[in-house]
Amino acid sequence: MSKIIMFYGKECPHCHIMMPRALKLAKERKIKIKKFEVWHNNKNAALMRSYALIIKPSCGGELGVPSFVDTESKRVLCGKTNYKTFKLWATKK
């Protein structure tokens, strides 16, 4: 089973779009997605920074939200995308 981390910001409009897609994917494909709010939680922000070396190249050189990290393959998806693209990213090995 894939394990994905979602880093998001509470007020982020793109995160609000991706959250239902992440929940749908988790339910449909039985993928574990752990969500961490990083704008108001320093511990979660530090966790995101610990993934900076793999997140930044996919996010235009910055730590952006929403960011999704596949903990097994170390692949990253950054930003808002449609459900089909998100699903393909999450299920690709």
- Residue 16 belongs to domain with CATH number: 3.40.30.10
Q: How many domains does the chain have?
A: 1
Range of the domain at 43: 3-91
| Torsion of the alpha carbons at 53, 26, 22 and 34, rounded to the nearest 10 | -50
- For position 6, what pLDDT does the model report? 98
pTM of the shown model: 0.94
3-class secondary-structure state, position 71: coil
Mean pLDDT within 5-33: 96
- For position 2, what pLDDT does the model report? 64
Q: For 29-78, write each residue's pLDDT tens digit.
A: 889 999 999 999 999 999 999 999 999 999 999 999 999 999 999 999 99
